[in-house]
Amino acid sequence: AASQVHSTAGMPRRSRRRKSIAIAYESGQGDGAEQGMSEPQRPRWEPRDWQQQLERIREMRRKRDAPVDEMGVEKCYDSSAPPQLIRSQHFAFKEKSKTSVSPPQTPVCGLVCNMHSGMVCFLSCLSLLPMLEGSLDFLPFPLVFQNKVKYIKQTTAILKQKYGGDIPRTVEELVQLPGVGPKMAHLAMNIAWDSVCGIAVDTHVHRITNRLKWVKKETKYPEETRVALEDWLPRDLWREINWLLVGFGQQTCLPVNPRCNECLNQDICPAAKRR
Domain for residue 23, yes or no?
A: no
Cα–Cα distance for residue pair 113/205, rounded to 1 Å: 27
Domain carrying residue 58: 50-94+116-262
Domain for residue 145, yes or no?
A: yes
Backbone angles phi, psi at 90, to 5 degrees: -55, -45
Do 247 and 61 contact (CB within 8 A), yes or no? yes
Q: State the CB neighbour count (10 A cutoff) for residue 28.
A: 5
Domain for residue 24, yes or no?
A: no
In three-state secondary structure terms, 65 is coil
Cα–Cα distance for residue pair 90/182, rounded to 1 Å: 16
Domain for residue 209, yes or no?
A: yes
Radius of gyration of the chain (CA): 28
Cα–Cα distance for residue pair 214/207, rounded to 1 Å: 10
> What is the structure's pLDDT at 199?
97
- Please count the structural domains in the chain: 1
Distance in angstroms between the alpha carbons of the first and the last residue of the chain: 90
Domain for residue 78, yes or no?
A: yes
Residue ranges in the chain modelled with pLDDT below 50? 1-3, 5-8, 18-37, 95-124, 136-139
Cα–Cα distance for residue pair 205/232, rounded to 1 Å: 15
Q: Is 183 a catalytic residue?
A: yes
Q: Which long-range contacts (CB under 8 A, 24 or more apart) does 216-222 make?
A: 216/45, 222/182, 222/183
Torsion sign across C-alpha atoms 35, 39, 44, 48: positive
Nearest Cα to 81, choosing from 119, 45, 110? 119
**Given 94, 96, 148, 183, the catalytic residue:** 183
CATH of the domain at 59: 1.10.1670.10
Nearest Cα to 89, choosing from 73, 104, 102, 72? 73
> What is the structure's pLDDT at 197?
93
> What is the structure's pLDDT at 63?
95
Cα–Cα distance for residue pair 156/134, rounded to 1 Å: 17
Domain for residue 10, yes or no?
A: no
Domain for residue 153, yes or no?
A: yes
Domain for residue 131, yes or no?
A: yes
